[in-house]
Structure 1
Amino acid sequence: MITCTVRYELDPDQLEAFEAYAKFWLHKIPEMGGTHHGYHMPFEGPNDIAYCHFSFPSLAAYEDYRDRMRADPECQRAYAHAQATRCIRRYDRSFTRPLMDGASADELGL
């Protein structure tokens, strides 16, 4: 499994527009074979930073999603919305491998 984390720098005056954009991807990622772990919106602290996390079974599955996403009319509408509202100033993506299963200290030999 591979997880993509996106750090967004937002226009604080366009949070409502960004939330509409985010809600679309919460719906679309699972439809395209991924698992969305949610958006984390500004609350306390900086009012212009948000994060999202979503996973695909493999890097190949993620790359396939990216190809299909570029051709998908709904995805293109979402991108056009973000561009028209200028709700996203910039974003950075990083990829990680999630560690999801815990173990006791005894099981780990600690």
Structure 2
Amino acid sequence: MITCHLRYIVDPYQLPAFEAYGKAWIRLVEKFGGKHHGYFMPSEGTSNVALAMFSFPSFAAYETYREASFKDEECLSVVAQNDQHRFIISYERSFFRPVFEDDQGVRRAP
């Protein structure tokens, strides 16, 4: 499994627009076979940093999702919302491999 961690710098005056964007991507990632772990909006402290995490079974599956998303009308529409309103200032994407205490074959709860 590979988990993508996204760290966004967002316009704090447009958080509702970014939240709508995030909710759309949760559904879209799952449409393409991923498991979304949610978006995390600013609360206390820094008001312009948001996070998101989602997983795919492999990096190859993630790459398949990326290629398909560039051609999907729904995905393109969501990206166009940011292109028009600029609520995302920048973002960083990192990939991680999870390690669990029970990696000895014990099934984890979903």
TM-score (norm 2): 0.90
Aligned twin of 2:22: 22
Larger Rg: 1
Give the partner amino acid of 1:92: E
- Which residues of structure 2 form unaligned runs of 5+? 104-110
What secondary structure sits across from 1:64 in the alignment? Answer: helix
**How big is the shift at 1:83?**
1.3
Q: Which residue of 2 aligns with 1:33?
A: 33
Aligned equivalents of 2:17, 2:56: Cα separation in 1: 26
Correspondences of 1:39-78 after superposition (within 5 Å) = 39-78=39-78
Q: Work out the CA distance in 1 between the residues paired with 2:100 and 2:92.
A: 24
Q: Distance in 2 between matches of 1:5 and 1:99?
A: 15
The one-letter code matched in structure 2 to 1:67 is E
2:84 maps to amino acid:
A
Unaligned runs of 5+ in 1: 104-110
Letter in 2 for 1:29: V
Give the equivalent residue in structure 1 for 2:84: 84
Q: In structure 1, the residue corresponding to 2:20 is in which secondary structure?
A: helix
Pairwise CA RMSD: 1.1
2-structure distance, mates of 1:78, 1:72 = 10
* DSSP 3-state at the match of 2:63: helix
SS of 1:38 mapped into structure 2: strand
Count the aligned residue pairs: 103
- How far is the alpha carbon of 1:100 from its aligned partner? 3.0
Within 2, Cα distance between the matches of 1:87 and 1:13? 8
SS of the counterpart of 1:27?
helix
Q: Quick one: which amino acid aligns to residue 98 of structure 2?
A: P
1:100 and 1:74 map into 2 onto residues whose CA distance is 34
